[in-house]
């Protein structure tokens, strides 16, 4: 596959910009209770006056229909977005590493079975399968989104790890180490994982971005987070209703979402250029 | 005769003439549907979208006039026996179906039996022998007889004064049974009726087209064509209306206030009451809501005015009881449980939960929909002020209706819009203890005094005596507060100024159903 | 080559079988009662039981799978609970709109992506290059549903150039904004790919030779570099088309586009499981077959890949 040749200096620049963006939203998520100027859940008294206020004054980004401060809600929304994005990816990556190791290291029937399973899961376009999966549950909710993202997110990493394991098995020093009676566990720890860490990190970073977009998409469709959970996707769905009269309700949560994903993609680009030029988006 | 006298005479003649005299023929009426209709078969429909079209394609024995009174339709006249149990309908001669055959009394009987085994069997269950037939224990409904080709005789199990209204309901519309049998399930997408419009084409999720049926027994309607366009997004419907591509449209969320302030569009804005009530219903058979004091406390804690003003943009009427204004028996003197946080606090303490202490976890269920979600979020925030924490849970309609029917919620939202304008359709269906669960009483409310009053009222002939009993029952129900009564629906519509004689039905809040029947409508342009 | 095609097709069978099994299992364990839901607010237990019998919902699960699979092999996806007509009919009605949107989005992505990517490569290191790469990254990072909303806000609600949403009477004006929205991500991917592969080719030996021979720069680019640089782009386009078909649910929802994606979302809301199954299955088949075609095309171009 073709190599992406970076514009000179772009590698470190994308890493930097990406890190700054992700760091900013990470800080927003962690410090939301301290940073938020208002209670993001409270419906104010005198609702009529507070409803759908344009940006400005005590409400820097305006308010939604129920008079709630959009800035505070976006800050709290970062917790859901990043929490789901990173949390689901950690579990999915762990699952992927285990599957990939089992398939690559032990081979045979197990390998065939696991790889067919990987093929089947990858045969589905992930968002479509995620939407379809939501039909299985009686009620939508963030916990189900999390589950679905883990169940669908392990395949790429499983393939990456399996390929590394297969390649490693052929190397002479591994054959030698085995002949000397070195067990599987030390091999995996000392040789396989260090080799795989680059591609793993890149795949996991892009996985986080994918999870965040998927959560927002499902919540936008009403299949994700439910109130009072604050999700950018759900805020956007509400924003679409009031797009013509109060566009700020749709603009700001989407902007936050885009900047977060952009930051993660930049981070991923930078990491990829550093670790593994073969991978591409 | 002087010219002046001629002018005068002509003016008088004009005044005397039927209002339809000036009506113009021709034109296409274009309106929007929110979803593709699931069916066009009256026996299979359960939703307002399907009914909206079915009402143009078929006729019933009777129909409801502007004052919601039953008047002749396929039946030219009808009568009821002394004991109020046997209704005799005399069919109008010369009524033809769209495919040319003449209507006979046998079609009526066969249509009713077909529909009784369809999706709305309750419309027929008052007829003698119908329950056995619906359960498949009989070959025919014993209570429907056809003495001759023009006469249908229907015997009820017991007197039921609103029965003629059921005969105007769209589940009781008449179909040519040999066509329905020949087409099988395909009848739902190639319907044949006697109605003023006949079916032309249906491109799913795009449009349904009807055309005038010149052979209608009342003569051809004024409109040449009716086109229903399926446009799920409210802002798109609105844009299409503004672009002149729809004759009328619903008012999109958040736009009502702006439209009322708009000098041009405010004149195209029409608002009228719908016979419906939106409420948050408690399951009263289990703690904590088996306690009426707690239920009253919750009623006082919720600011219905704020819901009506902010979420519904002042377009609805705050509810004080069950029966909506415009429904016979509606009691304007009813006070209900107005918003009063202090009173709510007192009652909460009286119920043993001062400041919300000692309450078990409470969940309010609603089905997935932005409006229901907004209301639930507001209710949650307002109860929080009293120290009461409630969880929200939303389910899609399928899972929701099952859970609600099975009594699986503590507290759930539910709207009810009259099937026919009679208090029985609200009070008996929704509060009689025999109707627990799916039959309508999802609160599982039971009060022997209310049951007794409703049983008596249901059997009385129409009139003030009957309504007085319903009022008494409603007062008892409201005092027990099995629901938090939120608001009565209204219909909101933008309608082009050249549209004439569009009747507004209070029987549905759904945008496509605002108007029935379209046969009276004409376009003045 | 024929043997290769046959092998690849054969390898598809277990995957498709797995896909069908997975789809069936998922819907079989679904909770709630879809039949009850189709009945409106006054359900009759007798009628519900009747419908359950009719749909075979009372049979044991493996019998249901057997029945379902048997019908599936005959091209019968069952009947929609909600619309009471065959799923194949519903799907067939919706597919053309989705295909049309995907093709338009791809056309847009290819034209703009290629032009921008190649220009960025030719003028490498300039402000134009930086702009294109930044734009491509934005295209990749912007969630489609938000992009759609913003395009509506500016070009439909604001400037009034295009309709807010809907299919209209099939005219191109209704197609522009949804196609832009759906195509944005692919545009970014194609631009990056085109730029990278042109740069790679330019760096290769024979191009340097051609240059050294004194061929005009434009001729070098046009005749030698471009043709070789386009090969990887072809694969991106192939995979991308399958991606576009399945990226449709969000775009179609934002623009009220009457395609398969919106049908799927609506069916999930109505718990119309036969329709959900049918749509997910069809999307998976499109995806798998699309990827297979790309592989085959690639195999035809580069025989080394036919392992």
* pLDDT tens digits, B193-244: 999 999 999 987 778 999 999 999 999 999 999 999 888 777 778 888 888 8
Of B235, B253, B374, the CB nearest to A66: B374
Q: What is the Cα–Cα distance from B55 to B517, expressed in whole angstroms?
A: 7
Of C143, C268, C276, the CB nearest to A258: C143
Res B113: pLDDT: 95
Chain A interface, mutation test: which of B381, B385, B398, B413, most A Cβ atoms within 10 Å? B381
pTM reported for the whole predicted model: 0.80
Q: In this predicted model, what pLDDT tens digit does every residue of C280-306 receive, in sequence order?
A: 888 888 888 887 887 777 666 665 555
The encoded tokens of residue C305 equal: 């890949």
Question: Domain-by-domain residue ranges, chain C?
Answer: 16-73, 90-306
β-pairing verdict for B144-148 and B151-155: antiparallel
B190/C contact by beta carbon, under 8 A: no
Better pLDDT: B456 or A179? B456
Q: What is the Cα–Cα distance from B168 to A124, expressed in whole angstroms?
A: 50
Return the percentage of chain B with pLDDT > 90, whole number: 62
Tell me the ipTM for this assembly. Answer: 0.84
What average pLDDT does range B43-60 have in this prediction? 89
Backbone angles phi, psi at A237, to 5 degrees: -60, -45
C51/B contact by beta carbon, under 8 A: no
Model confidence band, residue A138 (pLDDT cutoffs 50, 70, 90) = low
Residues A76 and A36 sit within 8 Å (Cβ to Cβ): yes
What average pLDDT does range B60-78 have in this prediction? 91
Fold for domain A9-36+69-279?
Answer: MetI-like fold (1.10.3720)
Q: Do A129 and C287 touch (CB under 8 A)?
A: no
Res C38: pLDDT: 57
Residues B131 and B66 sit within 8 Å (Cβ to Cβ): no
Residues A68 and A53 sit within 8 Å (Cβ to Cβ): no
Backbone angles phi, psi at B270, to 5 degrees: -130, 135
Res B19: pLDDT: 47
**What is the nearest CA distance from A12 to chain B, expressed in angstroms?**
45
Question: Domain-by-domain residue ranges, chain B?
Answer: 20-58+195-247+496-525, 59-177, 274-489
Res A281: pLDDT: 36
Query: In the CATH hierarchy, which top-level class contains the domain B20-58+195-247+496-525?
Result: alpha beta
Q: Is C128 exposed, middle or buried (0-12, 13-18, 19+ CB in 10 A)?
A: middle
Answer yes or no: is pLDDT of A93 > 70. yes
Answer yes or no: is pLDDT of B513 > 90. no
Q: In this predicted model, what pLDDT tens digit does every residue of B247-293 receive, in sequence order?
A: 999 888 878 888 888 899 999 999 888 899 999 999 999 989 999 99
What are the Cα distances from residue A245, in Å, to A43, A65, A152, B495, C1? 20, 11, 38, 21, 60
**Residue range C90-306, CATH number:** 1.10.3720.10
Kindly provide the residue ranges of all beta strands, DSSP E only, lying in B65-172, ordered along the sequence.
70-72, 75-80, 86-91, 144-148, 151-155
Res B4: pLDDT: 57
Region class of B198: left (phi > 0), else alpha (psi between -120 and 50), else beta: beta
C117/B contact by beta carbon, under 8 A: no
Better pLDDT: B498 or B401? B498
Model confidence band, residue A7 (pLDDT cutoffs 50, 70, 90) = very low
Q: What is the Cα–Cα distance from B34 to C155, expressed in whole angstroms?
A: 24
Among A174-178, B156-160, B404-408, C121-125, the least confident range: A174-178
Model confidence band, residue A2 (pLDDT cutoffs 50, 70, 90) = very low
Region class of B192: left (phi > 0), else alpha (psi between -120 and 50), else beta: beta
- Chain B residues with beta carbon closer than 8 angstroms to that of C165: 233, 235-236
Among A125-139, A247-261, B217-231, the least confident range: A125-139
Q: Do B397 and C42 touch (CB under 8 A)?
A: no
**What is the nearest CA distance from A278 to chain C, expressed in angstroms?**
12
DSSP states of B413-465 = EEEEE-SSSSTHHHHHHHH-GGGBGGGSBTT----HHHHHHHHHHHHSPSSHH
Region class of B336: left (phi > 0), else alpha (psi between -120 and 50), else beta: left
What average pLDDT does range A194-219 have in this prediction? 90
What average pLDDT does range A213-240 have in this prediction? 89
Chain B interface, mutation test: which of A226, A231, A243, most B Cβ atoms within 10 Å? A226
Q: Do A134 and C268 touch (CB under 8 A)?
A: yes
C53/B contact by beta carbon, under 8 A: no
Q: What is the mean pLDDT of chain B?
A: 89
**What is the nearest CA distance from C22 to chain B, expressed in angstroms?**
22
**Residue numbers of chain C with a pLDDT score lower than 50:** 31, 307
Answer yes or no: is pLDDT of A280 > 50. no
For B356, the enclosing helix (H) or strand (E) is none
What is the CATH architecture assignment of B274-489?
Roll (3.10)
Backbone angles phi, psi at B241, to 5 degrees: -65, -45
Q: Do C279 and A132 touch (CB under 8 A)?
A: yes
Model confidence band, residue B191 (pLDDT cutoffs 50, 70, 90) = very high
What average pLDDT does range B146-157 have in this prediction? 96
Res B20: pLDDT: 47
Residues B29 and B226 sit within 8 Å (Cβ to Cβ): yes
Q: What is the Cα–Cα distance from B395 to A137, expressed in whole angstroms?
A: 9
Res A3: pLDDT: 37
A164/C contact by beta carbon, under 8 A: no
- Chain C residues with beta carbon closer than 8 angstroms to that of A137: 30-31
What is the 3-class SS of B298-327, one letter each residue?
A: HHHHCCHHHHHHHHCCCCCEECCCCCCCCC
Residues C245 and C102 sit within 8 Å (Cβ to Cβ): yes
Q: What is the mean pLDDT of chain A?
A: 85
Among A47-51, B83-87, C33-37, C297-301, the least confident range: C33-37
Q: What is the Cα–Cα distance from B211 to A255, expressed in whole angstroms?
A: 49
**What is the nearest CA distance from B193 to chain C, expressed in angstroms?**
20
- Chain C residues with beta carbon closer than 8 angstroms to that of A21: none
What average pLDDT does range B372-383 have in this prediction? 91
What are the Cα distances from residue A13, in Å, to A263, B513, C196? 12, 60, 18
Residues A236 and A160 sit within 8 Å (Cβ to Cβ): no
Answer yes or no: is pLDDT of A150 > 90. yes
Answer yes or no: is pLDDT of A103 > 70. yes
Of A43, A237, A238, the CB nearest to B378: A43
Res A6: pLDDT: 42
Query: In the CATH hierarchy, which top-level class contains the domain B59-177?
Result: alpha beta
């Amino acid at each position: 596959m073709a190599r992406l040749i970076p514009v000179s200096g772009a590698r470190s620049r994308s890493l930097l910009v990406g890190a700054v963006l992700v760091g900013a939203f990470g800080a927003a998520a962690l410090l939301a209770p301290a940073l938020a100027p208002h209670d993001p859940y409270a419906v104010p008294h005198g609702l009529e006056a507070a409803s759908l206020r344009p940006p400005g004054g005590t409400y820097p980004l305006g308010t939604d229909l129920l008079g709630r401060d959009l800035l505070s809600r976006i800050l709290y929304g970062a917790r859901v977005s990043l929490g789901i994005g990173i949390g689901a990816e950690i579990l999915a990556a762990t699952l992927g590493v285990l599957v990939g190791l089992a398939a690559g290291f032990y081979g045979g029937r197990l390998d065939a079975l696991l790889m067919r399973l990987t093929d089947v899961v990858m045969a589905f376009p992930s968002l479509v399968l995620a939407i379809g999966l939501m039909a299985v549950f009686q009620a939508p909710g963030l916990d189900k989104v999390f589950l679905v993202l883990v169940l669908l997110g392990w395949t790429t990493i499983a393939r990456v790890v399996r390929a590394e394991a297969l390649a490693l098995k052929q190397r002479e020093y591994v054959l030698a180490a085995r002949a000397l009676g070195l067990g599987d566990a030390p091999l995996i720890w000392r040789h396989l994982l260090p080799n795989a860490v680059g591609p793993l990190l890149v795949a996991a970073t892009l996985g986080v971005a994918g999870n965040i977009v998927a959560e927002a998409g499902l919540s936008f469709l009403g299949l994700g987070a439910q109130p009072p959970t604050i999700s950018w996707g759900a805020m956007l769905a509400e924003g679409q209703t009031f797009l013509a009269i109060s566009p700020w309700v749709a603009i700001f949560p989407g902007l936050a979402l885009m900047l977060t994903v952009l930051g993660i993609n930049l981070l991923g680009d930078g990491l990829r250029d550093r670790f593994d030029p073969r991978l591409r988006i | 005769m002087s010219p002046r006298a001629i002018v005068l005479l002509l003016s008088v003649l004009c005044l005397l003439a039927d209002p339809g005299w000036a009506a113009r023929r021709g034109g296409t009426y274009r309106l929007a549907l929110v979803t593709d209709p699931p069916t066009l078969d009256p026996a299979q429909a359960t939703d307002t979208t399907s009914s909206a079209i079915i009402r143009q394609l078929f006729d019933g024995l009777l129909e409801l006039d502007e004052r919601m009174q039953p008047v002749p339709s396929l039946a030219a006249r009808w009568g009821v026996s002394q004991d109020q149990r046997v209704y005799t309908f005399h069919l109008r001669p010369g009524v033809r179906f769209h495919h040319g055959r003449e209507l006979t009394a046998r079609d009526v009987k066969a249509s009713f039996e077909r529909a009784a085994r369809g999706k709305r069997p309750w419309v027929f269950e008052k007829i003698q022998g119908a329950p056995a037939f619906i359960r498949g224990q009989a070959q025919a409904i014993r209570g429907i007889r056809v003495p001759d080709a023009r006469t249908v005789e229907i015997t009820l199990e017991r007197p039921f004064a609103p029965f003629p209204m059921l005969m105007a309901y769209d589940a009781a519309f008449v179909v040519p049974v040999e066509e329905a049998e020949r087409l099988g399930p395909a009848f739902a997408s190639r319907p044949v009726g006697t109605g003023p419009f006949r079916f032309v084409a249906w491109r799913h999720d795009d449009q349904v087209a009807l055309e005038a049926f010149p052979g209608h027994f009342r003569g051809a309607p004024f409109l040449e064509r009716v086109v229903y366009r399926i446009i799920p997004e409210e802002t798109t419907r609105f844009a299409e209306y503004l672009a002149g591509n729809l004759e009328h449209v619903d008012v999109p969320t958040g736009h009502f206030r702006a439209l009322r302030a708009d000098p041009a569009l405010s004149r195209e804005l029409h608002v009228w009451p719908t016979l419906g009530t939106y409420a948050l219903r408690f399951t009263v058979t289990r703690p904590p809501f088996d306690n009426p004091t707690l239920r009253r406390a919750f009623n006082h804690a919720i600011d219905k005015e704020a819901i009506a003003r902010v979420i519904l943009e002042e377009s609805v009427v705050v509810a004080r009881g069950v029966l909506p204004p415009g429904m016979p028996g509606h009691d304007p003197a009813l006070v209900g449980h107005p918003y009063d946080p202090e009173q709510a606090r007192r009652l909460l303490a009286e119920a043993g939960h001062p400041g919300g202490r000692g309450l078990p976890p409470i969940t309010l269920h609603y089905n997935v929909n932005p409006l229901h979600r907004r209301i639930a979020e507001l209710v949650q925030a307002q109860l929080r002020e009293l120290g009461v924490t409630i969880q929200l849970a939303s389910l899609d309609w399928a899972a929701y209706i099952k859970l609600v029917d099975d009594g699986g919620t503590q507290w759930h939202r539910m709207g009810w819009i009259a099937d026919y304008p009679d208090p029985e359709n609200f009070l008996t269906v929704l509060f009689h203890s025999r109707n627990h669960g799916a039959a309508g009483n999802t609160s599982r409310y039971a009060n022997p005094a209310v049951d007794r009053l409703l049983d008596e009222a249901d059997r009385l002939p129409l009139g003030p005596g009957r309504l007085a009993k319903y009022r008494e029952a409603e007062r008892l129900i409201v005092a027990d507060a099995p629901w938090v009564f939120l608001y009565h629906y209204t219909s909101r519509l933008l309608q082009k100024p050249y549209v004439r004689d569009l009747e507004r039905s209070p029987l549905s809040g759904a945008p496509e159903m605002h108007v029935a029947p379209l046969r009276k409508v004409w376009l003045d342009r | 080559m024929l043997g290769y095609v046959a092998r690849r097709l054969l390898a598809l069978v277990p995957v498709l079988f797995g896909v069908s099994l997975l789809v069936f299992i998922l819907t079989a364990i679904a909770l709630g009662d879809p039949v009850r839901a189709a009945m409106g607010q006054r359900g009759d237990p007798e009628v519900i039981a009747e419908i359950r019998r009719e749909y075979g919902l009372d049979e044991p699960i493996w019998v249901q799978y057997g029945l379902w699979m048997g019908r599936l092999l005959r091209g019968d996806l069952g009947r929609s609970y909600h619309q009471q007509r065959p799923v194949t009919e519903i799907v067939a009605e919706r597919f053309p709109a989705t295909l049309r949107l995907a093709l338009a989005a791809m056309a847009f992505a290819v034209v703009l992506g290629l032009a921008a990517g190649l220009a960025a490569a030719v003028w490498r290191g300039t402000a134009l290059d930086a702009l294109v790469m930044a734009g491509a990254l934005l295209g990749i990072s912007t969630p489609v549903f938000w992009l759609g909303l913003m395009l509506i806000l500016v070009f439909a609600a604001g400037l009034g150039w295009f309709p807010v949403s809907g299919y209209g009477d099939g005219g191109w004006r209704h197609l522009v904004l949804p196609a832009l929205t759906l195509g944005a991500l692919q545009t970014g991917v194609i631009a990056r790919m085109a730029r990278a592969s042109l740069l790679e080719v330019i760096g290769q030996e024979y191009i340097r030779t051609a240059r050294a021979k004194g061929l005009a720069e434009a001729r070098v680019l046009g005749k030698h570099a471009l043709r070789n640089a386009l090969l990887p782009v072809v694969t991106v386009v192939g995979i991308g088309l399958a991606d576009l078909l399945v990226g449709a649910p969000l775009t179609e929802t934002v623009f009220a586009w009457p395609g398969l994606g919106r049908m799927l979302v609506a069916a999930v809301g109505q718990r119309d499981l036969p329709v959900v199954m049918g749509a997910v299955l069809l999307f998976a088949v499109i995806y798998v077959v699309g990827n297979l075609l790309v592989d085959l095309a690639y195999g035809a171009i580069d025989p080394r890949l036919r392992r």
